[in-house]
Amino acid sequence: MVNNDAEAGMRLKEMQTAIRNLPEIFKTPFLLYFDGYKYNEIADTLGEPLGTIKSRIHFARKLLKEQIQRA
């Protein structure tokens, strides 16, 4: 069990670092989405078109996946 907890803790730190390293233009919409906001709510909040928000969140997820796979 201890190994799993330690591994989970390391993965969490990797994820937090990867999110922190995202460019702000992707990080803000991604964090709002992660917090449970819907795409249209994020678009309204940030004053951006819905398609732009969807694209930025998609790209943020792609960047995170690439960063974590490299680690």
48: helix, strand or coil: coil
Query: 56: closest CA among 42, 70, 67, 41?
Result: 42
The DSSP code for 22 is S
Domains recognised in the chain with CATH numbers: 2-70 (1.10.10.10)
pLDDT, one tens digit per residue, over 7-49 is 777 788 888 999 999 999 999 999 999 999 999 999 999 999 9
Give the pLDDT band (50/70/90) at residue 71: low
The interaxial angle of helices 39-46 and 24-34, nearest 10 deg, is 130
pLDDT of residue 48: 98
Q: What average pLDDT does this structure show over 53-67?
A: 95
Give the pLDDT band (50/70/90) at residue 3: low
Distance CA 42, CA 6 (A): 34
The interaxial angle of helices 50-70 and 2-20, nearest 10 deg, is 130
